[in-house]
């Protein structure tokens, strides 16, 4: 076996294709290496004879080779556990240093998500005697990611640690840890936080807690049966060690601090094995720190108490910054109702049945009459009953009992009256009366017959199903009420049908006869829609937008999703006065450099991993100067460079990086030469010291840098050798009078130049090519040659450079003007002044340029990425007109110091807590409202809020009454501050089951929510509100038994929010689950364990206000036992049937796709792919033609893959995309079908 670490590749093409297939130098040497397969995870161990200090392993940890790893999931995705890394490090230590070894300073740097095939590389290099740094890396698309770093150490006798920790007495440990916790409970606790452990990782049998909690946990561990045959292959099986790690989560202090977030291993200070762990039975865990993170020491024991493995300084936490962890929790807990268009199922084979239609109209109900006729056409039996709201309810109830007492009804269909007229102050009153009336009807049904008919309620335009729907406020409470009735009486199968004016009775009749299991439906234009409860992380399109004036406001281009140019977008930014030594420039022109192309595709490599802003060159007019700037003044025309993003209307930069433009040089010309000509001039003149007679190799010579370099070389009297990437460009170079022209995409240029120079080579290489071509250019240099590297890929990839060519006294320069602008800004300014002057004087050429409006930057990037351009591409920045742009959430002014705010329910625990948060965020004036006077505790909190800096006013009154809302607005604006926000959090919560709900109870729950919201709407009509936020309840979203009245009130509030939105008024509704520690539901939250932590809720509240979303549910439902049951009996929640499977949400396209019959998937995917490829390549696509034949290169291929994954969630590899649209669609169908058919994790 010559290449034991190799992987299969495509066979070489015939030799006449002249395609070079070079083996990496390390791979070549492995042919002569000592290779032994030693470990299931590490794989083959390789030692290179010429590098005896270097050890290399190449393993496979994918879920096909290691299927048990699929049971270790983070947020629904299989991930390599930290315990596996620990075992790999221990095995590497034994292989390199022998048994007397240990591992120190383990750092888990990245989470490795596992695919079917997941190759890894492990390297250990001896740094000093007995000290061996170890790294684990993965590769994706040619980019390497370090997953783990550690140091292997020899254990010497002089080390402080004893040879082996003392044996522990198991009986004493069991006696001192009397409180038993089932391992399944610990795993359930972890599962709720996104860490799912399947059967293969059920190694924690029980955990025992010390009296009074203490610092220790004793865990009983056992390797699950199916894995026991593997135990001999490991020092300590990762599943067994992971079970020991799980024991930390059993400690009460740890469970108390985790706050709903992940608890994952982040590092280990010291790890040492004292023998085989195959007989390990217990783990003694000591929690040494429990604050921001957790730290613990573990001793893994055999059945006799002997320590077989010691873990010191195990660090656990989220592995993410506080900001990213908060954002993750927010995305996981946001919910929404989505409406999906569907085909009505075919009529069931059952009999049409008998139907009781109950009309609540005061007059003749045409809808009821039409529905009766439609049902009778299908041979259904229909009985119609009128029960208007002003009827004798006792008599009508008796009549209903008589009707149902005979039995035999398939369903009871309650029809509400269509809305008449526009909403007014009586709309919420009529809405409450309708709720009372439907309760009267519905509560009779379970009492009458044991064989309950199915209950339907029909409403008219009560839901916002489609964009532009204007909901009917009078029926807004029905949805929440029906949800609760369904929860209390599941046998009624309570179902909701919402229709518009265009839907006929025949459609509704067909739905009834189809006996669909759907319980929440709507009809729009005779199309049927069903509602679904969905995970709903905030989407980019839900960010706020604002209109900016190009001449006055800050606006810049940014890439939201690197790799997808459709996400290149304008974003607003705040202009701030320039600081000391800075200027602000109103940009009129900027250029595109290849670095910008790499940034947009996420392939620009930096040492800190952060992607820079787009655009480094600018030309424009100074619009402001900071303190200490004397060389420039407002109104000066300048050109320069800045890392702050020049594809913008304004940019602030170091004044030393800008210089006045000479007469005769336009702004566009200055932008064109800034980087290109400056790079060429500095590289050839200042570094290479070009002179007459020098032979100069200029790569990619038709670009901006190349054109400038040609002019400089000619002016110096040098002989030019140039390359270009295709024949058209090479012809262009020949037309420019260049004799020696070569192909830059082949290394054959080196041999050709060597032949053309009689073996001399060249004196200077201006290099931008990579890999083998770079090395070929280096070897081409003559004695004393100078190599100017202007590319970045090989430098940031730390590519090895052979030193042998340097025996000829060569010089290698890395040229990066961006770094130079940081280290030597004055030199850059002088360089730019020289370039601008020489351009005007004609020494440097006015480059050939192609102009694009800034709004068409994506097209220009594609042109440059495909190498279809000549010279420079210029972006013209507008300074007239207005544009609608994205308002980044962090810039949305939610709480202004120059604004006032109203909080109803403001003297309760939740209201006061959020008032404090608003004050901390800068709210100028806060008016707190409540029906009762503030308590002493409330007064103390108010003083604390005032001390923060906000002006706080208390205005008491019943918000359901008109005068209260008026007084609140008057109080808010009394000091001249405009009213900017309203938080409607007032509530009365009185619970009763359907049989016990009274009109009075409904009124008490209804009034503060519905009447209060309307009064606030009326009173704030002339105020410049930024937001109007109503606190709703998850009881209305999913139905909470016993809360029918409260759910109806909150459901009306949700409908009211959509109605306000339809009037182009700000409105947001948040349906909260139970808050912990504060608010009315503390006891419930503590009982269920599904509490919203106050800080978490405050973050969600503020974040939602920063976005443009009308309605959200927010509740920690993932992992809740009731969710499984709910999903099993209600199609509304079917997306949650497999808990954890939908944590990150589903794209709209994918949701629509999976609703289609599978035979329609290929056609739908072909249309998607054709559209996306057409957008990228700007042409019509034949679905049966290879994409490579259209010129789909690596950059455009990456963009296509990014778009496909964003739309469908299906990951396509670089090799799989080299096919036709039809072939790719079929492949995606297979992948999607396999994913949908895969059994859910146990």
Taking each helix axis from N to C end, the angle separating 748-756 and 772-779, rounded to the nearest 10 degrees, works out to: 20
Q: Looking up tokens 């200027």, which residue turns up? A: 583
Strands 354-359 and 411-415 turn out to be parallel
Three-state DSSP class for residue 154: strand
C-alpha distance from residue 69 to each of 25, 204, 351, 950, 1142 (Å): 33, 16, 51, 54, 20
Residue 863 half-sphere exposure toward CB, CA atoms < 13 A: 20
Cβ–Cβ < 8 Å for 264, 317: yes
Contacts of 545 (CB under 8 A, 6+ apart): 884, 885, 886, 887, 1108
Q: Looking up tokens 């300014």, which residue turns up? A: 829
1023 φ, ψ to 5°? Answer: -100, 145
- Helix, strand, coil content of the chain in percent (nearest 5): 40, 25, 35
Strands 882-887 and 544-549 turn out to be antiparallel
Closest C-alpha among 933, 1014, 923, 922 to residue 972: 923
- CA angle, residues 1074, 1076, 1078, in degrees to nearest 5: 105
Contacts of 363 (CB under 8 A, 6+ apart): none
> Rounded CA gap, 1078 and 1068, in Å?
22
> Rounded CA gap, 819 and 217, in Å?
53
Active site residue 72: yes
Alpha helices per DSSP H over 382-470: 393-405, 427-442, 445-448
> Rounded CA gap, 611 and 3, in Å?
37
> What is the H or E stretch that residue 1233 is in?
helix 1221-1237
The single residue of 71, 191, 242, 1026 carrying the catalytic annotation is 242
> Rounded CA gap, 490 and 1137, in Å?
18
Cβ–Cβ < 8 Å for 445, 494: no
Strands 213-221 and 204-210 turn out to be antiparallel
CA 1162 to chain centre: 28
Q: Looking up tokens 């994913």, which residue turns up? A: 1235
| SS3 labels along 232-257 | HHCCCCHHHHHHHHHHHHHCHHHHHH
* 212 dihedral zone (left: phi>0; alpha: psi -120 to 50; beta): left
E runs forming strands in 663-705: 695-698
Structure token digits, residue 241 = 């060690």
Active site residue 242: yes
Q: What is 180-205 written as a DSSP string?
A: EEEHHHHHHHHHHTTEEE-GGG--EE
> What is the H or E stretch that residue 93 is in?
helix 82-97
142 φ, ψ to 5°? Answer: 80, 0
The neighbouring-strand residues paired with 524 are 527
Residue 540 CB coordination number (10 Å):
12
> Rounded CA gap, 93 and 661, in Å?
63
> Rounded CA gap, 554 and 650, in Å?
6
Closest C-alpha among 266, 264, 273 to residue 311: 273
The single residue of 39, 45, 55, 72 carrying the catalytic annotation is 72
The DSSP letter of residue 115 is: -
Residue positions annotated with a catalytic role: 72, 242
């Amino acid at each position: 076996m010559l290449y034991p670490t190799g992987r299969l590749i495509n066979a070489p093409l015939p030799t006449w294709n002249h395609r070079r297939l070079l083996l990496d130098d390390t791979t070549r040497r492995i042919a002569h290496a000592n290779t032994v397969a030693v470990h299931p995870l590490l794989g083959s161990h390789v030692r290179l004879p010429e590098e005896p200090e270097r050890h290399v392993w190449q393993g496979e940890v994918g879920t096909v080779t290691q299927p048990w790893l699929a049971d270790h999931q983070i947020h629904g995705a299989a991930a390599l556990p930290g315990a596996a890394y620990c075992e790999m490090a221990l095995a590497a230590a034994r292989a390199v240093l022998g048994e007397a070894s240990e591992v120190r300073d383990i750092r888990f740097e990245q989470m490795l998500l596992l695919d079917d095939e997941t190759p890894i590389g492990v390297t250990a290099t001896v740094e000093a005697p007995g000290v061996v740094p170890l790294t684990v890396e993965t590769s994706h698309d040619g980019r390497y990611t370090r997953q783990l770093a550690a140091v292997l150490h020899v254990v010497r006798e002089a080390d402080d640690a004893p040879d082996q920790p003392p044996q522990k007495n198991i009986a004493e440990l069991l006696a001192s840890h009397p409180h038993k916790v089932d391992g399944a409970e610990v795993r359930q606790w972890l599962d709720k936080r996104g860490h799912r452990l399947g059967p293969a990782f059920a190694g924690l049998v029980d955990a025992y807690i010390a009296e009074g909690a203490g610092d220790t946990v004793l865990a009983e561990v056992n390797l699950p049966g199916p894995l026991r045959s593997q135990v001999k292959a490991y020092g300590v099986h990762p599943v067994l060690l992971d079970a020991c790690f799980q024991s930390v989560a059993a400690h009460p202090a740890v469970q108390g601090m985790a706050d709903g977030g992940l608890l994952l291993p982040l590092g280990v200070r010291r790890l040492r094995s004292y023998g085989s762990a195959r007989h390990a039975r217990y783990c003694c865990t000591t929690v040494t720190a429990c604050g921001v993170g957790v730290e613990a020491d573990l001793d893994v024991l055999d059945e006799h108490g002997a320590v077989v493995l010691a873990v010191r300084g195990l660090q656990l936490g989220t592995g993410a910054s506080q900001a990213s962890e908060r954002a993750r929790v927010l995305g996981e807990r946001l919910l929404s109702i989505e409406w999906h268009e569907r085909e009505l199922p075919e009529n069931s084979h059952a009999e049409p049945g008998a139907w009781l239609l109950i009309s609540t109209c005061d007059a003749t109900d045409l809808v009821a009459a039409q529905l009766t006729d439609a049902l009778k056409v299908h041979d259904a039996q229909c009985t119609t009953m009128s029960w208007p709201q002003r009827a004798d309810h006792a008599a009508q109830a008796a009549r209903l009992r008589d009707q149902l007492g005979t039995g035999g009804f398939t369903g009871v269909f309650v029809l509400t009256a269509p809305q008449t007229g526009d909403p007014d102050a009586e709309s919420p009153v009529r809405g409450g009366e309708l709720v009372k009336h439907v309760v009267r009807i519905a509560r009779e049904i379970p009492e009458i017959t044991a064989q309950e008919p199915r209950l339907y309620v029909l409403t008219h335009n009560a839901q916002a199903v489609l964009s532009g729907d204007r909901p009917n406020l009078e029926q807004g409470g029905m949805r929440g009420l029906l949800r609760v009735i369904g929860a209390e009486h599941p046998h009624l199968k309570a179902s909701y049908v919402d229709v518009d004016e265009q839907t006929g009775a025949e459609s509704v009749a067909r739905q009834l006869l189809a006996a669909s299991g759907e319980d929440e439906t709507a009809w729009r234009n005779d199309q049927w829609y069903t509602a679904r409860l969905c995970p709903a992380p905030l989407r980019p399109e839900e960010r706020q937008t604002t209109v900016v004036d190009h001449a006055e406001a800050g606006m810049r281009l940014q890439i939201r999703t690197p790799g997808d140019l459709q996400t290149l977008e304008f974003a607003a930014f705040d202009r701030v006065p320039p600081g000391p030594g800075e200027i602000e420039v109103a940009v009129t022109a900027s250029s595109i450099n290849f670095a910008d192309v790499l940034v947009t595709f996420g392939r620009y490599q930096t040492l800190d991993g952060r992607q820079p802003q787009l655009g480094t060159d600018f030309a424009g007019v100074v619009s402001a100067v900071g303190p200490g700037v004397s060389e420039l003044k407002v109104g000066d025309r300048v050109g320069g460079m800045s890392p702050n993003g020049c594809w913008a209307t304004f940019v602030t930069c170091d004044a030393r990086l800008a210089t006045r433009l000479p007469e005769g040089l336009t702004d566009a010309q200055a932008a064109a030469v800034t980087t290109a000509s400056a790079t060429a001039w500095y590289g050839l003149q200042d570094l290479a010291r070009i002179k007459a007679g020098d032979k100069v190799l200029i790569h990619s010579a038709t670009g901006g840098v190349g054109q400038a370099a040609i002019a400089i070389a000619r002016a110096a009297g040098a002989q030019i050798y140039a390359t270009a990437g295709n024949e058209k460009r090479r012809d262009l170079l020949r037309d420019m009078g260049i004799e020696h022209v070569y192909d830059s995409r082949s290394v054959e240029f080196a041999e050709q130049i060597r032949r053309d120079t009689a073996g001399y080579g060249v004196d200077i290489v201006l290099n931008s090519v990579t890999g083998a071509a770079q090395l070929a250019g280096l070897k081409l240099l003559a004695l004393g040659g100078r190599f100017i590297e202007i590319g970045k890929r090989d430098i940031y990839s730390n590519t090895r450079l052979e030193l042998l060519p340097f025996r000829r006294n060569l010089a290698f320069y890395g040229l990066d003007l961006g770094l130079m602008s940081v280290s030597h800004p004055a030199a850059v300014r002088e360089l730019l002044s020289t370039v601008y002057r020489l351009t005007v004087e004609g020494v440097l050429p006015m480059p050939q340029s192609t102009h694009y409006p800034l709004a068409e930057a994506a097209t220009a990037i594609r042109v440059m990425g495909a190498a279809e351009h000549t010279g420079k591409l210029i972006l013209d920045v507008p300074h007239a007109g207005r544009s609608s742009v994205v308002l980044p959430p962090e810039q949305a002014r939610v709480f202004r110091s120059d604004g006032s705010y109203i909080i109803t329910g403001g003297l309760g625990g939740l209201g006061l807590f959020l008032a404090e948060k608003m004050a901390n965020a800068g709210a100028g004036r806060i008016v707190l409202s409540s029906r009762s006077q503030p308590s002493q505790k409330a007064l103390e909190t108010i003083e604390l809020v005032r001390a923060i800096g906000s002006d706080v006013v208390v205005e008491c009154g019943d918000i359901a009454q008109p005068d209260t809302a008026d007084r609140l607005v008057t109080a808010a604006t009394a000091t001249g501050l405009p009213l900017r926000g309203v938080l409607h959090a007032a509530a009365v919560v009185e619970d009763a089951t359907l049989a016990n709900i009274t009109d009075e109870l409904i009124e008490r729950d209804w009034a503060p929510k519905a009447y209060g919201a309307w009064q606030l709407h009326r009173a704030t009509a002339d105020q410049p509100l930024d937001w109007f936020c109503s606190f709703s309840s998850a009881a209305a979203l999913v139905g909470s038994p016993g809360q029918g009245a409260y759910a109806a009130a909150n459901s009306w509030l949700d409908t009211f929010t959509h109605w306000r939105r339809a009037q182009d008024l700000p409105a947001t509704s948040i349906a909260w689950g139970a808050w912990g520690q504060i608010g009315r539901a503390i006891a419930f939250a503590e009982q269920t364990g599904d509490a919203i932590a106050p800080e978490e809720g405050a973050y969600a509240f503020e974040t939602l206000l920063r976005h443009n979303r009308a309605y959200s549910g927010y509740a920690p439902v993932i992992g809740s036992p009731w969710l499984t049951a709910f999903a099993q009996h209600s199609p509304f929640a079917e997306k949650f049937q497999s808990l954890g499977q939908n944590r990150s949400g589903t794209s709209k396209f994918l949701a629509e796709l999976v609703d289609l019959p599978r035979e329609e998937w290929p056609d739908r995917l072909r249309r998607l792919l054709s559209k996306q490829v057409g957008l990228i390549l700007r042409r019509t696509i034949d679905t049966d033609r290879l994409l490579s034949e259209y010129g789909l290169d690596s950059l455009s291929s990456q963009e296509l893959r990014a778009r496909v994954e964003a739309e469908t969630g299906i990951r396509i590899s670089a090799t799989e995309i080299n096919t036709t649209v039809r072939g790719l669609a079929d492949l995606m169908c297979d992948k999607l079908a396999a994913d949908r058919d895969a059994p859910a994790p146990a």
